[in-house]
Amino acid sequence: MESFLVSISTVAIAEMGDRTQLLSLMLAARFRKPWPIIAGVFCATVANHVVAGLLGARLGRFLTPSVLDAAVGASMLAMALWTLKPDTLKEESARISGAGAFLATVIAFFIAEIGDKTQIATVALAAAYPNLPAVIAGTTAGMLVANAPVIFLGKAFADRLPLKAIHYVASALFAILGAVFIYRAVHHGAWSAAPVGPPPAPGHWSH
């Protein structure tokens, strides 16, 4: 449950004002068909995050717990700084084919999500938590939570979002997660460095 809750909250907040949310707004304005767009966002996110999650889980198997937690913590701190930088939707990402709303959303959203904050967060979360389905379910749900209101309510809703404050909250959340994982790395390192086995019995100390 922890992996799901951390994943959904992290991605939902990080997605506010992100380039993929801007893409959702543009798709909604062009096609005015919210349900096919929602379905396209869902399919593109699942496909993208399954790949990211498998990569993160594979990386996690090759690292010791302390190194893994340190790597995840460092990536979360980097994400905290990255979140403070506002995203813009590049023109090449904004080009949408003449296909239907669903297919256009799947293609455009999948491409825009490559290398995005939420994809990198999925890699880190999948490396940190052993329950990969819960992580993918959480990150996908987080994307829908952030994008569905924009798709259904449009620009009026997006303009009311206090994006600057949201970016600060997202940055603080990533920073807190980074600090937690780094603390766990230090704890694991100290635990592994501790002597193994019971202390010698009284009277058996070497002189």
Question: CB–CB of 95/53 below 8 Å?
Answer: no
Is 152 inside any structural domain?
yes
Question: CB–CB of 152/34 below 8 Å?
Answer: yes
Side chain identity at residue 84, one-letter code: L
Give residue-wise pLDDT tens across range 34-85: 899 999 999 999 999 999 999 988 888 877 777 777 877 787 787 778 767 7
Is 202 inside any structural domain?
no
pLDDT of residue 93 exceeding 50: no
Is 106 inside any structural domain?
yes
Q: What is the reported pLDDT for 33?
A: 85
Q: What is the reported pLDDT for 136?
A: 95
Is 203 inside any structural domain?
no
Mean of the pLDDT values across residues 19-31?
82
pLDDT of residue 94 exceeding 50: no
**Cα distance between residue 46 and residue 38, in whole Å:** 12
Nearest residue to 37 (alpha-carbon basis) of 82, 108, 101? 101
Mean of the pLDDT values across residues 108-117?
85
**Cα distance between residue 143 and residue 34, in whole Å:** 15
pLDDT of residue 4 exceeding 90: yes
Is 68 inside any structural domain?
yes
**Cα distance between residue 108 and residue 95, in whole Å:** 8
Number of domains in the chain: 1
Question: CB–CB of 87/22 below 8 Å?
Answer: yes
Is 204 inside any structural domain?
no
- Strands, E assignment, the chain: none
Q: Is the pTM of this model over 0.85?
A: no
For residue 40, what is the enclosing H or E element?
A: helix 34-61
Taking the CB of residue 100, how many other CB atoms lie within 10 A of it? Answer: 13
Q: What is the reported pLDDT for 68?
A: 72
Question: CB–CB of 94/24 below 8 Å?
Answer: no
The residue with greater pLDDT, 36 or 206, is: 36
| Exposure class string for 162-183: b at 16+ Cβ within 10 A, else e | ebeebbeebbebbbebbebbbe
Q: What is the reported pLDDT for 78?
A: 79
Is 197 inside any structural domain?
no
Nearest residue to 15 (alpha-carbon basis) of 4, 24, 28? 24
| Tokens found for residue 30 | 């062009």
Is 125 inside any structural domain?
yes
Give residue-wise pLDDT tens across range 117-170: 888 889 888 988 889 999 999 999 999 998 998 888 876 665 666 667 766 777
Domain encompassing residue 103: 2-191
Q: What is the reported pLDDT for 39?
A: 94
